[in-house]
Chains A and B, each alone.
Chain A
Amino acid sequence: MKANNIILQTITKVVVFIIITFSIYLFFAGHYYPGGGFIGGLMTASALVLLLLAYDMETVKRVIPADFKIVTAVGLLIAVITGVGPMLSGLPFLTHAHDYVELPLLGKSGLTTAMLFDLGVYLVVIGITMTIIQTIGESD
């Protein structure tokens, strides 16, 4: 008997956006409030896992056509580049720069290269979690 999942699927469509929004908030709030790349990445991955629960794996792969192993690699690459960058100007490895910049729309905001490192962590966490879950889900 084919399962009728309409309640779960409809609620998933609404709730996934709330979870992803909250995970992005956690990611950007990490410098001044609790949060950061790790928990933000885990929450984004949990939104994708909720999609996997409500729909089948082929649908999710069609909606998000990302190879998560490559996402992991890109995250590591970003983290390493933010570490190596200051070495080019003679500073030690992983020296971070911090400055206040006038951005259009956002106004005066503090920007730091630690956020780029966090972006690397974020991508690695999403990539590894989704790779683990998809590998376990695919093996029969």
Chain B
Amino acid sequence: MNIIEISKIVLGFIILLGTALSLVTSIGLIRLPDVYTRSHAASKSATLGVLLILFAAFLLFGINTGHLNARLFLAIVFLFLTAPVAGHLLSRAAYHSNVPLWEKSVEDDLKKRVLEKKQTEQA
């Protein structure tokens, strides 16, 4: 077995891991109870899944054809930077438009902060 055969096996495993993470994401989107837990599932595992697939594609082109594709690398950096911020903004927009937490949630620390801030602005 030469390096190309070995890399195909390893990279195939990485791609399968990425698709499995994407599947976990979609199961999480269906199964989880409220917006915040769903955004937790969507932003974390989907990001890692896509990053793994892109990384495997990057290495596959690099090893098989000797062509290091900077665009794939740039896409990895870009998604790693932006996907969590998108999740943060979605959850924050949901919180500030009074989307309720799951009824079994026990603590809401942000609520205290928001109320304090409102009182200091009124005073």
Residues of A within 8 A of B (CB): 1, 7-8, 11, 14-15, 18, 22, 25
Contacts and interface: CB of A to CB of B under 8 A. Distances in A.
A11 B81 contact: yes
Contacts of A25: 71
Contacts of A22: 71, 74
Interface in B69-123: 71, 74, 77-78, 81-82, 85, 88-89, 114, 117-118, 121
A67 to B, nearest CB: 30
B89 A8 contact: yes
Secondary structure type dominating chain B contacts = helix
Given A1-B117, A1-B118, A1-B121, A8 B85 contact: yes
Contacts of B118: 1
Interface in B25-82: 71, 74, 77-78, 81-82
A3 B78 CA distance: 25
A11 B80 CA distance: 11
Nearest to B75: A22
A1 B113 CA distance: 12
State the main secondary structure of chain A at its contact with B: helix
A42 to B, nearest CB: 17
A18 B70 CA distance: 12
B81 A15 contact: yes
Interface residues of B, number: 13
Given A1-B117, A1-B118, A1-B121, A18 B78 contact: yes
Given A1-B117, A11-B81, A11-B85, 13 more contacts: A1-B118, A1-B121, A7-B85, A7-B88, A8-B85, A8-B89, A14-B81, A15-B78, A15-B81, A15-B82, A18-B74, A18-B77, A25-B71
A51 B55 CA distance: 29
Contacts of A11: 81-82, 85
A93 B118 CA distance: 66
A7 B119 CA distance: 24
A22 B117 CA distance: 41
Contacts of B121: 1
A15 B121 CA distance: 33
Contacts of A18: 74, 77-78
A8 B89 CA distance: 8
Ranked nearest first, the 3 interchain pairs of A and B with the lowest CB-CB distance are A11-B85, A18-B78, A7-B88
